[in-house]
Structure 1
Amino acid sequence: MRRAAIAVVLATAIASPLVAARADPGGEPARRADFKVELPSDKARTLADWVVASRDHQNLPFAIIDKTAARVFVFARDGSVTGAAAALLGSAVGDDSAPGIGQRRLTAILPHERTTPAGRYQAALGHDLDQDILWIDYDKALSLHRVIDGKAKDRRRQRLASPTAADNRISYGCINVPEAFYDGVVAPAFAGTVGIVYILPETRDLAEVFPAMRAVPQR
């Protein structure tokens, strides 16, 4: 999907939920995210609770990607989790993208540049080559998609299925998740709308990456 088309999707899909959120307060907002049976890290819970309390997600579905735990949580508009799964992430530790990385060939991306950048992103379903994906940042070529096999030595599926997060850093920056999770949780959550994706930092503080958190008292 070309950038112009992505822009149209984002602008069109986000308009209606924003208007609805402002026109219908719906009483007192929920004060905390509902992780149900999931056990998030303290950082993931802190961010999710702030998102729900402040309505930073603008009444849209949202996802939180915890790089340290190598885990993805997807939430409905009301802040209740609809699913969670392990994820493969950029092989390099870091919270920023190299300048112009979205316009470079994979072979030109150096090992230390293979980061999954932290931040808040408007995301939408789209396509890349022969598969549908969730575009997180088109200009950075950052997306979330079903796990790909890649090179045999990468052992991506084995890494994804292992019980530890220590071996989940293998991609060029994109987020790989199990096929069943993508098809059963991610795709339905973002179908026909944009959503918000929050990628937690691993080298910086939450409030540095999400400065709006400073404006809302924490409970």
Structure 2
Amino acid sequence: MALGGDAAWAAEPAGAVVDAPQRRVADFARERASGPARELAGWVLDSGDNGGEPFVIVDKAEAAVFVFDDGGRLLGAGAALLGLARGDDAVPGIGQRALSSILPAERTTPAGRFVASLDRNVHGWPILWVDYDTAISLHSVVTSQRAERRAERLASPTPDDNRISYGCINVAPAFFGKVVVPAFRHSSGIVYVLPETRPAGEVFAALARANARHAVAPAPH
């Protein structure tokens, strides 16, 4: 096949500006989601960081949980109860301690990227293990301590009263059973917990690098 000298594939002239690749945007459907949650979900899809597995984004600042399938389709979103204390790190060795020994200031939900899978706790209740070493899991809301009013906190329209757990992520039973369990029934997956005391890029280094590359890329023209 003959190709003329004006072929469209001809090399760009020296100094030509090449359009920056468009970043993927996660579809949150009609769910309200913060900027950091949307940015993180988009990066997961762009980079394939979830490895083709289902993934969850936990937005601690908004007390919200978003569950996506392995292709990035939103399966559901819901409110969550989180650790009583604000903070993004777990106290060393906390996973081996009795609950009664954990101080209020130590009851944090750690931020980060975690490989998660379904299991059962010592009482036989289904849970999604988030971080075994720190004993953090995502599970149906625990209502045995009536004074804590966990069900009421979960149902309230504001995230301001959603800090009560020892660090675990509590969600509504229907959300856990109809969204989380089916998503992880046949596969492990990834749980991303956004930080609340520092930028997301300090916890997710690859996200920071991707943002830096995008910031210096030439603008579309």
Taking structure 2 as the reference length, the TM-score comes to 0.84
- The reply on whether 1:125 has 2:154 as its aligned counterpart is no
Deviation digits for residues 94-151 of structure 1 (CA, Å, limit 9, x no counterpart):
0000010000000000110000000000000001022010000111100000011131
Asked whether 1:214 is paired with 2:204, we answer no
**What is the Cα deviation at residue 214 of structure 1?**
2.7
User: Structure 1 unaligned runs (5+)?
Assistant: 1-27
Secondary structure of the residue that 1:40 maps to in structure 2?
Answer: coil
Q: Which amino acid aligns with 2:128?
A: L
> How far 1:218 sits from its partner (Å)?
4.0
The aligned counterpart of 2:8 is none
For the pair 1:197 / 2:219, whether they are aligned, the reply is: no
Q: Does 1:135 align with 2:129?
A: yes
Match of 1:165 among 159, 167, 170: 159
* Kept in 1: contact 2:202–2:208 (CA 8 A): no
For 2:199, the aligned partner's letter is: D
Alpha-carbon distance in 2 for matches of 1:29, 1:143:
35
Identity %: 55
Asked whether the 8 Å contact 2:23–2:42 carries over to 1, the reply is no
Which one of 10, 32, 35 corresponds to residue 39 of structure 1?
32
> Deviation at 1:87?
0.4
Distance in 2 (CA, whole Å) between partners of 1:218 and 1:196 is 24
Instruction: Say if 1:150 and 1:156, in contact at 8 Å, map to a contact too.
Output: no
Q: Indicate if the aligned counterparts of 1:36 and 1:80 stay in contact, CA closer than 8 A.
A: no
| Distance verdict in 2 for CA 1:206–1:30, change over 3 Å | closer
Shift of 1:30: 8.1
- Cα distance between partner residues in 1 of 2:208 and 2:78: 29
How far the C-alpha of 1:179 sits from its partner, in A, is 0.4
| Separation in structure 2 between the aligned mates of residue 59 and residue 108 of structure 1, nearest angstrom | 39
Residues 1:174 and 2:173 are matched in the alignment: no
Taking the aligned partners of 2:119 and 2:206, their CA distance within structure 1 comes to: 28
TM-score (norm: length of structure 1): 0.85
Q: Which amino acid aligns with 1:114?
A: R
Letter in 2 for 1:165: P
Per-residue displacement from partner, 1:141-166 (whole Å, max 9, x unpaired)? Answer: 00000011131110000000011100
CA distance in 2, matches of 1:167, 1:47: 25
Structure 2 residue aligned with 1:49:
42
For the aligned residue pairs, the C-alpha RMSD in angstroms reads 1.6
Partner residue in 1 for 2:182: 188
Distance 2:85 2:148 in 1: 15
Q: Per the alignment, in what secondary structure is the counterpart of residue 166 of structure 1?
A: helix
Equivalent residue of 1:143, what SS? Answer: strand
The alpha-carbon deviation at position 78 of structure 1 amounts to 1.4
Q: Which has the higher Rg, Structure 1 or Structure 2?
A: 2
Which structure has more helix as a fraction of its residues?
Answer: 1
For 1:218 and 1:93, how far apart are their aligned partners in 2?
31
8 A Cα contact 1:30 1:52, kept in partner: no
